[in-house]
Structure 1
Amino acid sequence: MPTLILIDGSSYLFRAFHALPPLTNAAGEPTGALFGVVNMLRNSLKAKPDYIAFVCDASGPTFRDELYPEYKANRPPMPEELRAQIEPMMEIVKALGFPILRVSGVEADDVIGTLATQAAAAGIDVVVSTGDKDMAQLVGPHVTLSNSMTNTTMNAAGVFEKFGVHPNQIIDFLSLMGDSVDNIPGVEKCGPKTAAKWLAEYGTLDAVMDNAAKIGGKIGENLRAALPQLPLSRQLATIRLDVPLDEAPTDLALRERDVDALRRLYARYEFNAALKELDNKPLPDDVRGANVPAQFRKQTTSDADGTLAMQGVYDCVVDQAAFDAWLEKLRAAPIVAIDTETTSLDPMRAEIVGLSFAVEAGKAAYVPLAHDYPGAPQQLDRDAVLAALKPLLEDPDRPKLGQHAKYDINVFSRYGITMRGVRYDSMLESYVWNSTATRHDMDSLARRYLGYTTIPYDAVAGKGAKQIPFSQVALEQASAYAAEDADVTLRLHETLWPKLATEPGLMRVYETIEAPLIPVLARMEQRGVLIDTNALRVQSNELAKRMHELQQRAYDIAGRTFSLDSPKQLQAILFEELKLPIVVKTPTGQPSTNEEALDAIADQHELPKLILDYRGYAKLRSTYTDKLAEIVNPRTGRVHTSYGQAIAATGRLSSNDPNLQNIPIRTEEGRRIRQAFVAPPGYRILAADYSQIELRIMAHLSGDAGLLSAFVGGLDVHRATAAEVFGLPPEQVDSNQRRAAKAINFGLMYGMGAFGLARQLGIARNEANDYIARYFARYPGVRTFMDNIREQAHRDGYVETVFGRRLYLDDIRARNQNLRAGAERAAINAPMQGTAADIIKRAMIAVDGWLGARDDARMLMQVHDELVFEVREDVLDEIATGVRERMSGAAELAVPLVVDIGTGRNWDEAH
C-alpha cells in the first residue's frame, strides 16, 4: 500500500529545541533546534514515502480559543532563541521539497487528523511523525505514530500498552486528566492511572459522568465538581477530522529539492555532513563484523563537524592465540585506547569484568574475563591477562588514551597495576576545546563530534529493577558494547586532537594542566581520607533531636500537626492560614515553599525561619552525618571522593560521593562535620588555603593601581577598599564599613548590581548605587577591565584565563536581555574563577611531583582554594614550607600569592 508521512512540524521544533544543546554557528545564530529538525527530516526521507507533508500551526487564534479564551493561557512566551530558528526551518523544509501546510483557525493537529482520516479511507498507510500524546486518538488500522526522537512506533496495541486505554478512548482519557500545558480543565488530581481505571470500568466519558455519584473519596468529590466543565474539556481535546483543505493526500508528493538553496542554508548554519550528502559524496557501508548483533547495526552522519562515523569490526577475544595476537598489536601501536568494564561505577570497589582495546579506527577487541551467566563460554584467566598487560600499562613511554581515564587508572590500581603514560583523554580534550559545547561523556561526544549514536548501556543490560550486572550480559552483546567504547574513544581523539593543535593556548592548557593532573587526582582518590564515624553518629543523633524539637515547635505555632517536608501542607499553613505574602511562585503558578521563598518572608513570622533551620539540619544528616559513615570503604577504612575534571565550565574541580565542596564552614554544625575528617595516629591534618585569590587575580588582570598597592603592601584589602569608598583613614573604618567593602569587592566579580548589594547589606538601593559609584571612582582600572572584557566577549564569543583556558559564552549575543546579561556577568567572573582553578591545579601538580612517593606526607583533598594533607608530625614544618613555596609559585602575578597554612588533629582544627 502507498504510504503518507505527516510530520508534526511544531512538535519537531519544540522537541529539538529542548532536547539538544544550544548550538550556534560562527555568526552566533542559534542552530540547535534547526540541527535536530534537519536531521529528523533527512531521516524521514530515507523511508521513501509516496506522500509526505510538513504541517505546522498558523499564526492567530483558533476555534479552541473561541470555545475557551483561557486555552493555552499558561504557556510561557516562546524563547527568542527558538523563535529565531522558525524562519530558517521553513526555508530548509521548502528547499527539501516538502509540501508545507498551515491552515488558519485550526491547529496542526487538526490538519494532520483530517489528512490521516482521508488517507486511511483511501487505502493509504499513514505514519504521523510526532511526540504529542494527543495524536494517539488518531491511531487505527492504517494509522500509526512514529517518534523520531526515540525511534519508536505506536500502533493500537502500543497505545493501550502506554496509556492503558484504547485509541477510541484517548479523547475521554485526556478530558479527565486535563492538560496543564494547554490549560485544559480536567478532574483535579485525576492522573493517567485513575482516568484509565474509570474508562476500563465504565467505557466512556459520558458513562463516567453518569456514574459520578458512585465514586467515593476525595477524587469522587473532584469528579463531581468537574462535571460542568468536562464536555468543554472533551471539545478542546478532540482533534478535528473535517478541516476544509485545498490538498488531498494524493497531492502531497515530494517536490524537487532546491539544491542551490540547500547548499546556501547548510553552509550558513554549518551543517557540514548534510552538505557532503547534498554533493553526492557516498556514505560508507556498514562494515561491522558478523559477530555483532543485528539490532546494534547502525550508521549515522554528523552535522556538527561533518565527520562520517561508521561502526567497526570488533573481535571477542576468548582464546590465548587471539589474545597473543592482540597483545602484539598493542605493543606495536603508536597509541592504545583502553577501556575497562567493571562491576561498579565506584572505581575503589569495582572489579574488572573485561577489557577493550583499539589501535586504529574501526577495529577493536573485547577481552571478557569474568562473565558468569549460565552457559557463558570459557574465558581467559583474569590474573594471567592482567599480568601480561602490566608491563605495557605501566610503561610511561607507551602513549595511552582513555575516555575519563582516571576511572580506569583507579580500577587497575586495585590489581596492583600503576597505569602510566596516559597522555590522551578524549573527555578532557573535548573539555579543553570547548567546556560549554556539550556534556563530555562518551555518548554526548560521539553524537556531537562523530555524528554517531553509541549503544546505550541499558540496551545490553536492561533498565531499572530488571537491569543485570555487566558480568551477566551475553558475550556477543557485551563485545559490541565494550569494543565500541574503545573504538569511539580513539575516533574522538583523532577528531579532537587536530582541533587542539590549531590552538596553541588550548594545547598548553591540556598538556601542562589537565593531562598531568589525571594521575595526581587518581592518587588522591585512591588514598581517601580517614573518617571518625563515631563522631558522625553522635552528631547525627543530635541533629535528629534538634529536628524533632523544631517539629514540635512548628506544631505549636500552627496549632496542629503537619509534615514539614510537604510543600502542599506548608502552602496551606503559610499562605492560607497565616496569610503570609506570596513572594515566589512555582512554574505552575502555585506559591513556592523553596528556600528563596521562605527566606524572603522569614522576617515576618517565626515559622518560615524554623522550617529553613529544619531543612538545613535534614540536609546535613542525609548528605553527611548519615551518609559519610555509609560510604566508608570497607577495604581501606576511608572515604574516597571522586573529582570531576570536566564538569564546571570555568575549570573548577567538582567533588562527588561525598561532595567535599558543599560542607558548610560558617556554621557550628558544618565545622563539626569537618572535625570528623581526621588524621591517623602520629599524623596531623595540614590545610593550605590561598588568601583572597580571586581578588588578587582581579588586581592582576585590571592593573588597577589602588588594588595593586593594597595587595603588594600586604594591607587588609577590604579595610583598604572601605577607606577608599568612605573617604576615611584605614584605622577609622568600622566593621560595618569593612563588611560593605567586602561585599562590593566580591560582588562585583560576580556581576552584582546595586539591587543585589542593597539586599545583601540591608540598605537602600540608592545608597548601594552610591557605594558602587565611589568604588569605581577609586578603582577606575576595575571598571575599565570590566568594560573591556564585556567587549571582548561580544567580539570573540569567549573569554580566557591567564593561562589560556577559554570559556565560551553561548548567550553573549542572545536576543533575550536576561540571558545576555547573565553571559556578561559570566564574562567578568570567568577569568578570575578560571585562573584560580588553573593556579590550584598547577600547584597540585607541583606539590605532587615534589612529594613523590614519600609516605610521611600525602595530599588528600582539594576544596575550592584549599589543599588538605595528611602529614607525619615530625615533618610538619618541612612540608608546610615546601607546600607554601609551591603554591605561592604556581603563577607569576603582579601581586603576591599568599597561602595560609594551619595544622590540627582534624580538618576543622587545621583552620
Structure 2
Amino acid sequence: MSQAPLVLVDGSSYLYRAFHALPPLTTSKGLPTGAVKGVLNMLKSLRKQYPDSPFAVVFDAKGGTFRDDMYAEYKANRPSMPDDMRVQIEPLHQSVIALGFPLLCVEGVEADDVIGTLARSSAAADRPVVISTGDKDMAQLVDGHITLVNTMTGSAMDVEGVKEKFGVAPEQIIDYLALMGDSSDNIPGVPGIGPKTASGLLVGVNGGLKELYEQLDIVPTLPIRGAKTLPAKLEEHKEMAFLSYQLATIKIDVPLEVGLDDLHLIEPDREKLLELYTLLEFRSWFDEVQRDAKRAGQEVVAPVEEAPAVDTELKYETILDQARFDVWLKKLSDAKLFAFDTETTGIDAQQAQLVGLSFAVEAYEAAYIPLTHSYMGVPEQLDRDTVLRALKPILEDPSKLKVGQHAKFDMNILANCAIGGDQNCGITVQGIAYDTMLESYVLDSTATRHDMDSLALKYLGHSTVSFQDIAGKGAKQLTFDQISLEQAGPYAAEDADVTLRLHQTLHEKLAAIPSLASVLTDIEMPLVPVLARIERQGALVDAKLLGVQSVELGDKMVALEREAFAIAGEEFNLGSPKQLGAILYEKLGYPVLSKTAKGQASTAEAVLAELAEQDYLLPKVLMQYRSMSKLKSTYTDRLPEQINPRTGRIHTSYHQAVAATGRLSSSDPNLQNIPIRTAEGRRIRQAFVAPKGYKLLAADYSQIELRIMAHLAKDEGLLHAFRNDLDVHKATAAEVFGVELGAVTTDQRRSAKAINFGLIYGMSAFGLAKQIGVDRKQSQAYIDRYFARYPGVLAYMERTRAQAAEQGYVETIFGRRLYLPEINAKNPALRKGAERTAINAPMQGTAADIIKKAMVAVDNWLAESGLDAKVILQVHDELVLEVREDLVDKVRDEIRQHMSQAVTLDVPLLVEVGVGDNWDEAH
C-alpha cells in the first residue's frame, strides 16, 4: 500500500491570495476576517483530501531574511502589508494550531525555504510530497516525488506540468527566474527578458545560467525575437543575473527543530476554536465544532465574556409608566455623572428621527425610555413631547455632567428633535464631560477601532448585543422603531450601561498619563459641540451649477474615451482591467511594471501614473478619464442628491476618532478630498456658495507643518526665515543651490518646495529625484546640502527616530501620542515606514491639534460676539465661514487673530484669509 504523502502548505502565499482574491469580510465589530476564512477553508479541504497524511502549515516569520542581507532591494517594491491583512495574522495562526495542524515559522528564512527543506528530506526518504501553494518559485522543487497543488484553483503540477507551463524543466526554473526576474520580489533579472525569451534561451543552450554564459556566441542563432542583441545585454547584466539566481534559489538545508515524524495532525482544541470562532463570528463553524464535540462525547463550554470580579446582576428596565419615569428623573438630577444614549430610525444625524433614550447612573443598572416604537401590538408608551420637556432642563444643564459614546451624534439628534413639532425647539445638550470613543482614541488611536462594541470587548471583556442581532441584515433590516420592546429595551439599556462602565475604565487609564488626559479635556471634548454645530449648519450648494458641471465632465469623458480608442486602434471597456491589460501589454507592448496577486499585469492607478510619467500616451489619457469619472460620480452627480430636504443644505459628518495622527476626516460627503490642483476640481468648490447678502470667508494656515518643523527642530536657518517673513522655499533654494535670494529661479523654488515638504514626509533620494526630474545622485546631493545648511532638521529627525525606537511612540507639542508598533521591526521596510511616520506624525498631529484649538477659540468668540457669522466647513488647515456682507472686514481681522494666536510657537503662525461669493473665490 502506497504511503500517504507529506502535505506542506504555503500559508503565507495563501494568506496574500485569500486577502486579495476573496471578497472582504468583517465582523459586526469591524474586525477583518476574509483572509482567515479563505485560508481555513483551504486547510479544511486539504485535510479531507489527505486524511491520513502528515501536515505542516508554514508561514513567513517576522523580520528580514538572509536574502535581504544579500540584496538590500529584495522585495523593496512590495507594498507594506495592509492593516486589514496584518490584524488577521494572529487569529489565523491561532486557528491553524487549534485545528490541530503543525504550524512553522522560522526566523531568518522564508516559508519557501522551510518547505523546500522538508520536501527534499521527505523525498530523500522515498516519501511522496504534496506542496500546496500558488507560488511559481516552488516549481524548482518538483521531481518524481514532489508535486505542487493549487488548492484555490484545484490544479496540480508534476514534472511534465512544469515543462508545459513554463517551457523548461523543474531543474531549470531557478535559471528561468534569474533571467526574467520577479517584480513581486524585486528580483532584478536581466532587463528586457521575459518568460518566452528566458525559456527560449535555456532550451537553446540545453542547460542553465552557467551553460548560457559559456555559449553566448550561439545565442544570435537561436529562434528568439531580438536574439542578435541579447549577448551584449546578457554580458552587461551578468552580475545581476547570477545574483538573481541566488535570490531565486529555495534553500533546502534549513536547520529545523522538528523532523518529519513530528508533523502529525492532532485532535482539534475545540474550546479554543469556540473562542476564536466567537471572536471571528464564524457562526456555522462554531455550530459545527459543538456538533462534533457532542458526537465525540466531549463536553465543551462556549466562551464567555470576561466577567466582573463579582457576579453582578444586570438591572435593566424599560420605562412605560410615569411613576418609574419620575424615579429616573430624580436619579438623573441627583447624579454627579450619568451616561446617556439615543436610539433612532437611522444613522444620518440630520435626518434620523428619535425613537427613545437610555440612561445609566450606576454600573450594571440602566433604563430605556421608548417614545415612538410603532410595530403591531406595541405597548402604550409615554408621551414623547412630555418626556422630552421633562428631560430638557437636565440635558441642557452644563453642571449636570454627562458621558456618551460618540456623543456628537446624540447631540445632533436631540437638537433636531422638534418638541411639539417646532423645528426650532429641540434640546441643546450641554455638560458632556466625557466621550468614551474619544477617551479610547486619545489613549491609543491605533490600538483598536473606537466603536462601542470593539471597546467593550477590549476593555471590559464583554461582547455586546449587535444591532444586526435584533434588527436583521440587508434589505429586510428593521429600523429601531419596528423592533419589539422585549428586544429593544435590553439592547438600548446595555448601550448606556456599557458606556458608563467603559468611561470608568478608560478614565482611570487616562488619569495615569496626564498629558493624554489634557489632550482629551483641553482639545477633543471642547471640540465636540463645535463640530455638532458646524454639521447642523451645513453648507449651501448650487445644484444647478453642479448639474452643468456633470454634463461638461460627461462630454469630456466621451472625448477622452474616443481618444483612447484611437490610440488603441479599437474600442474597449475602459473600466475592464482584463481588456485594458490586453491593450496595454499585449497589443501596445508597454512594459509590465507590476503584477496582481494572480500574476496578471496590473492596471492599477499607480501603475498607469508611472507609465504616464514615462510619456506613454494611452495611460495619460486613461488617467485623465479616471480623474473626470471620479469627480463626476463622487461630486457633481452625488452632491445634489445629498442636499437635506429640510434645510436645503449639505451636512457632512466630521470624525474625530479615525485618523491616527489626530486630523479630522469627513464623510457623507467627504469634503476633505475635493481636488484643488485641477481646474475641474476647483470648479466643484465654486458650487459651494454664499446665500444672498452673505459672503464666504476662508481662513487657511500657511505652511503650518513647516513652521512646526522649525519649532521642533530649533534650526536657526528655518527660524530666521519664518521670523523674518521670508519665502521659505526661496530661502531653502538659495541655501541648497548656493545662489543669492534674489537670484532664485522659479524652477529652483519649485525644487526647494519639493525638498522642504518631501523631507517632512520621509521622501527618499529616489522619490525626490522622480519628483523634480533629476537623477538620484543629484537628488542625494541636494538632500545632503539641505541638511548641511539646516543641521537642526537632521538632528531632529535622528533624535525622533531614537526616541520612537526607545519609547514606542512619538508626541505632538500638546502631548498627543501616536504609538508605532513596527518601529523596532526586524523587517527593514516596516521599520523604515514606522520611522517616516515617527518624523511626520508630531508635525501633522500638532497641526491637527492647532486647528482644533483654533476652531474652539473661533466658536467661543462667535458665540460671545453674537455676530451673524458661522463656521460651515473645516478642511485640513482651513476654516470656511458664512459671514453677513457688512461684517466681513471685522470677522476677517478677528479670525486671523484667533487662529494665529491659537498657540505660541518659536515662529509666527501665518493665516491667509480670502473672501468670495463661493468657496473657490474665497480660497
The reply to whether TM is greater than 0.5 is yes
Task: State the identity %.
Answer: 53
Match of 1:684, SS state, is strand
- The alpha carbon displacement at 1:102 in A equals 8.4
State the match for 1:149 in structure 2.
Answer: 280
Aligned mates of 1:478, 1:771 — CA distance in 2: 65
Distance 1:325 1:251, change over 3 A: closer
Match of 1:516 in 2: 526
- Please show how residues 398-547 of structure 1 align to structure 2 within 5 Å: 398-415=400-417, 416-547=426-557
Match of 1:301 among 300, 306, 314: 306
Are residues 479 and 832 of structure 1, via their aligned partners in 2, closer, same or farther at CA, if it must alter by over 3 Å? Answer: same
Code of the residue aligned with 1:539 in structure 2: it is Q
> How far apart are residue 756 of structure 1 and its match?
0.7
**What residue is the counterpart of 2:889 in the other structure?**
877
What's the secondary structure of 1:823's corresponding residue?
Answer: helix
Q: In structure 2, what is the Cα distance between the partners aligned to 1:568 and 1:610?
A: 18
Match of 2:633 among 605, 622, 625: 622
Conserved in 1, the CA contact under 8 Å of 2:700 and 2:913?
Answer: yes
The correspondence for 2:751, drawn from 740, 747, 755, is 740
AA in 2 matched with 1:881:
D
The answer for unaligned runs of 5 or more in structure 2 is: 1-7, 20-26, 36-62, 64-82, 105-113, 120-127, 132-141, 154-181, 186-256, 418-425
Matched, 1:636 2:636: no
Aligned to 1:319: 321
Between the aligned partners of 2:603 and 2:87, the Cα distance in structure 1 is 34
Which residue of the partner structure matches residue 44 of structure 2? none
In the alignment, the residues of structure 1 paired with residue 752 and residue 502 of structure 2 have an alpha-carbon distance, to the nearest angstrom, of 48
- Structure 1 residues 556 and 447 mapped into 2: Cα distance closer, same or farther (>3 Å)? same
CA distance in 2 between counterparts of 1:485 and 1:785 reads 45
Match of 1:663 among 649, 652, 674: 674
- Secondary structure of residue in 2 paired with 1:661: coil
Q: Distance in 1 between matches of 2:874 and 2:884?
A: 19
Structure 2 CA distance, aligned partners of 1:467 and 1:342? 14
Q: Could you tell me which amino acid in structure 2 is paired with residue 420 of structure 1?
A: Q
Contact 1:335 1:359 survives alignment (8 Å): yes
Deviation at 1:127, TM superposition (A): 6.4
Aligned counterparts of 1:433 and 1:301: Cα–Cα separation in 2: 21
Q: Which stretch shows the higher mean deviation, 603-612 or 347-356?
A: 603-612
| Alpha-carbon offset, residue 313 of structure 1 | 2.3
**Shift in Å, 1:558:** 2.0
Contact 1:129/1:147 (8 A) holds in 2: no
Change (3 A) 1:699 1:762: same
Structure 2 CA distance for partners of 1:11 and 1:471, relative to 1, 3 Å? farther
Kindly indicate whether the alpha-carbon contact (under 8 Å) linking 2:539 and 2:688 is maintained by their aligned counterparts in 1.
Answer: yes
Superposition deviation, residue 9 in structure 1:
13
> Matches of residues 786-801 of structure 1 in structure 2 within 5 Å?
786-801=797-812
Q: Deviations over 1:512-561 (max 9, x none)?
A: 10000000000000100110111000000100111111112222222222
Partner of 2:102: 56
Offset of 1:782 from its aligned partner?
0.3
Find the aligned partners of 1:41 and 1:483 in 2 and give their Cα distance.
38
Change (3 A) 1:490 1:762: same
Name the amino acid aligned to 2:102.
C
Residue 579 of structure 1, aligned match among 577, 583, 589? 589
After superposition, give the CA deviation of every residue in 1:763-794 in whole Å (9 maximum; x if it has no partner): 10000000000000000000000000000000
Residue by residue, what CA displacement relative to the aligned partner does 1:640-666 show, whole Å, maximum 9, x if unpaired? Answer: 011000111111000111111100111
Report what 1:609 is aligned to.
620
CA distance in 1, matches of 2:630, 2:617: 20
Residue of structure 2 in register with 1:846 after alignment = 857
For 1:451 and 1:737, the matched residues in 2 are separated by 58
CA distance in 2, matches of 1:70, 1:308: 55
Contact 1:9 1:56 in 2 (8 A): no
User: What is the CA-CA distance between 1:605 and the residue it aligns to?
Assistant: 2.6
CA shift digits 1:206-250 (9 cap, x unpaired): xxxxxxxxxxxxxxxxxxxxxxxxxxxxxxxxxxxxxxxxxxx99
Q: CA deviation at 1:687?
A: 0.4
CA contact (8 A) 1:802 1:835 kept: yes
Partner of 2:189: none
Between the aligned partners of 1:758 and 1:633, the Cα distance in structure 2 is 47
Asked whether the 8 Å contact 1:700–1:893 carries over to 2, the reply is yes
Give the TM-score normalised by the residue count of structure 2.
0.72
Q: Is 1:691 aligned to residue 696 of structure 2?
A: no
Aligned match of 2:260: 104
Contact 1:584–1:596, Cα closer than 8 Å, also in 2? no
- The residue number in structure 2 matching 1:344 is 346
Deviations 1:883-905 (A, max 9, x none): 01110101110000000001000
Question: How much has 1:311 moved relative to structure 2?
Answer: 7.2
Change (3 A) 1:653 1:73: same
Aligned to 1:900: 912
Identify the residue that residue 873 of structure 2 maps to in structure 1: 861
Question: Aligned partner of 2:354: which letter?
Answer: I
Amino acid at match of 1:336: F
Q: 1:395 to 1:11 in 2, by over 3 A?
A: farther
Structure-1 separation of matches of 2:332 and 2:747:
66
Residue type of the alignment partner of 1:152: R
- The CA deviation string for residues 473-506 of structure 1, in whole angstroms up to 9 with x for no partner, is 1111111211111111111100000111111111
Shift of 1:307: 8.4
Question: Hey, what's the Cα distance between the residues in 2 that align with 1:321 and 1:252?
Answer: 51
Q: AA paired with 2:711?
A: H
Q: Do the aligned partners of 2:130 and 2:148 also contact (CA within 8 Å) in 1?
A: no
Aligned to 2:205: none
The answer for the alignment partner of 1:645 in structure 2 is: 656
Asked if structure 2 preserves the Cα contact closer than 8 Å seen for 1:301 and 1:307, the reply is: no
Check conservation: 2:442, 2:816, Cα contact below 8 A. yes
Secondary structure of the 1:902 match is: strand
Matches for 1:703-852 after TM superposition, within 5 Å: 703-852=714-863
**Kept after mapping to 2: 8 A contact 1:300/1:309:** no
SS in 2 for 1:881: helix
Q: State yes or no: 1:554 paired with 2:564.
A: yes
The one-letter code matched in structure 2 to 1:372 is: S
Deviation at 1:347, TM superposition (A): 0.3
* SS of residue in 2 equivalent to 1:629: helix
Paired residues of 2:653 and 2:668 also in contact (CA < 8 A): yes
Distance in 2, matches of 1:393 and 1:746, equals 47
After TM superposition, give the deviation of residue 691 of structure 1 in Å: 0.6
Aligned to 2:253: none
Q: Which amino acid aligns with 1:612?
A: M
Cα distance change of structure 1 residues 146 and 720 upon mapping to structure 2, 3 Å threshold? closer
Name the Cα RMSD after superposition: 3.8
Deviations 1:736-768 (A, max 9, x none): 111111011001101111011011112100000
The CA distance in 1 between the partners of 2:362 and 2:278, in whole Å, is 35
Q: How far 1:598 sits from its partner (Å)? A: 0.5
Question: Structure 2 matches for 1:7-22, cutoff 5 A?
Answer: none
Deviation at 1:331, TM superposition (A): 1.2
**Distance apart, 1:450 and its partner CA:** 1.1
Residues 460, 311 of structure 1: alpha-carbon distance in 2 compared, 3 angstrom cutoff: farther
Alignment check: 8 A CA contact 2:96 2:103 kept: no
Residue 128 to residue 71, structure 1, CA distance change in 2 (3 Å): farther
- Tell me if structure 2 keeps the 8 A contact 1:339–1:486: yes
State the SS of the aligned residue for 1:64: strand
Structure 1: stretches of 5+ with no match in the other structure: 1-7, 22-27, 45-52, 80-100, 117-125, 132-144, 160-166, 168-248, 255-282, 284-296
